[in-house]
Chains A and B, each alone.
Chain A
Amino acid sequence: MGLIFYLIAALTVVGGLAAVLLKNTVHCALALTVAFAGLALLFLNLDAQFAGFAQILVYIGAVAILVVFAILLTGGSETPQGGVFSRSWLAGLTAAAAVFAVLGWAVAASAPRLPGAAIPAPAATRASVIPSAPVAAPAPAVTVEQIGRVLAGRYVLPLEIVAVLLTAALIGAVIVAMHEKTGREKEGLE
């Protein structure tokens, strides 16, 4: 647990908080980009280079831009009159806090049995063992070639299904977003 992890984690959490708390919707989208970048850095910190760069390409390159486009197309950058939070914000905040409490309790309760935790030493030698200093697991060396072989071999069926899903989502998104305009044109013709 080095300093770098704490810095990236703080960046991610601050970006996420800003994304849900800021009033201007465009600022929220930019803060979301910061949170995505922080998560990509966490992936890189975990030696998952391919997933980290996929995160940068897909989320920062596509999803964040898509969010900005949607904000500009809906003209939602101005603050609404009734405030940015819904009427039931207290119930939502309570639910989120409860979920975090449960997740944190689960992580804390299962800490001794998680992989990477120090194996509890017998009582006689426990004093000599430095507490919570696990042996750092060696970084798994993963090349893009290995990922490609796994994707084209063991996971080829999910890969094809994802390809079909992406095509369907692309066509579906275009049809959903175009529908109203063609309907109006038809009405005008009739």
Chain B
Amino acid sequence: MTPLMGYLLVAALVFSIGLAGALTRRNAILVLIGIELMLNAANLNLIAFWRYGPHPELLTGMIFAIFSIAVAAAEAAVGLGLVIQIHRHAHTTDLDAINRMKG
């Protein structure tokens, strides 16, 4: 097994764990945690391909990962703000209980 393959398999495993968390948990915050894990797994793929790719001196993969980290931070801030607002409105963060779109 080459090093790149090991990193790709770890990233696939973390992505699947995040997807399972996002699809199976009832708490909205835990769903966001799953999405964060999936984003991080994608970042690991980018860094691994940058490190073992043919042109690491161009820094393409690493810059992509840094921008991805910045976008993920914005996503987390807006997502958690939405969860807090939903909790104020519906008095729960249980996604199975939030089943109507009317205010």
Whether chains A and B associate is yes
The listed residue (A147, A172, A181) touching B81 by CB distance below 8 A is A172
> Footprint of B on A, CB under 8 Å?
1, 5, 9, 12-13, 16-17, 19-20, 25, 28-29, 32, 35-36, 39, 42-43, 46-48, 50-51, 54-55, 58-59, 62-63, 66-67, 69-71, 73-76, 80, 82-89, 91-93, 95-97, 99-100, 103-104, 107-108, 111, 114-118, 132, 134, 136-137, 140, 142, 146-147, 150-151, 155, 158, 162, 165-166, 168-170, 172-174, 176-177, 179-181
The listed residue (B14, B70, B77) touching A66 by CB distance below 8 A is B77
Complex contacts, A9 vs chain B, CB 8 Å:
6, 10
Residues of chain B in range 24-50 having any CB-CB distance to chain A below 8 Å? 24-27, 29-30, 32-34, 36-37, 40, 43-44, 47-50
A132 to B2 alpha-carbon distance, docked (Å): 7
Asked if A13 and B7 make an inter-chain contact with CB atoms under 8 angstroms apart, the answer reads no
In the complex, how many residues of chain B place their beta carbon closer than 8 angstroms to a beta carbon of chain A? 75
Tally inter-chain residue pairs, CB-CB below 8 A.
263
Task: Given the known inter-chain contacts A39-B14, A42-B44, please indicate yes or no for A20 contacting B73, CB distance below 8 A.
Answer: no
A sample of 13 inter-chain contacts (CB < 8 A) reads A17-B17, A20-B30, A51-B66, A55-B43, A70-B83, A76-B93, A80-B94, A85-B25, A97-B20, A140-B57, A146-B59, A173-B81, A180-B89
The dominant DSSP class at the B interface is: helix
Asked if B3 and A116 make an inter-chain contact with CB atoms under 8 angstroms apart, the answer reads yes
Complex contacts, A170 vs chain B, CB 8 Å:
74, 77
Asked if B33 and A20 make an inter-chain contact with CB atoms under 8 angstroms apart, the answer reads yes
Asked if A173 and B17 make an inter-chain contact with CB atoms under 8 angstroms apart, the answer reads no
Task: Apart from A73-B87, A88-B23, list 18 A-B contacts with CB within 8 A.
Answer: A13-B17, A48-B62, A50-B66, A59-B36, A63-B76, A71-B29, A74-B87, A76-B27, A76-B29, A84-B26, A85-B25, A88-B24, A100-B12, A103-B12, A107-B12, A142-B59, A147-B59, A151-B63
Asked if A177 and B85 make an inter-chain contact with CB atoms under 8 angstroms apart, the answer reads yes
